[in-house]
Amino acid sequence: MSPSLFTKIINGEIPSSMVAKGEGWFAFLDIFPRRSGHTLVVPTEQQTHLAQLSRASRSALMEGVVDVQGRLSKEFDTSDFSIVVHDGATAGQEVPHVHIHIIPRTMNDGGLGLNSMWPNTSIGGEPDFIILKELASRLSKN
């Protein structure tokens, strides 16, 4: 597998605005931020999907997320974040290397919730607990 854009950033071959790094992870500011502070946390292990990462890399990645949240909390005076993973190309992943978007959130910052990702899905009304129970049953057997 050839080195991804993020592997090249981790290795210092491509410049980045590094926020922090730790054992098994590297964090840098997104070059196309949704808002100031939008940070990417990437594992040093190059894989496309979360499930492909070793257990140690997944654990390290989450430690990186928490570390970055602490840094962003201080800078933006918030404890609220949108934490987003696009796990594969069909899910919107643009660089084939696992990465987690950490976006600090503040009141009236212009960001939206899940309905912005699925604008044609109705939200509200009564939940269909029968369909939910059937799906949960199938998933729990897998």
The catalytic residue positions are 99
Distances (CA, A) of 28 to 43, 58, 116, 123, 136: 12, 18, 25, 34, 37
What are the residues whose beta carbons fall under 8 Å from the beta carbon of 49, sequence distance 6 or more? 87, 88, 98
CA 45 to CA 53: how far, in whole Å? 7
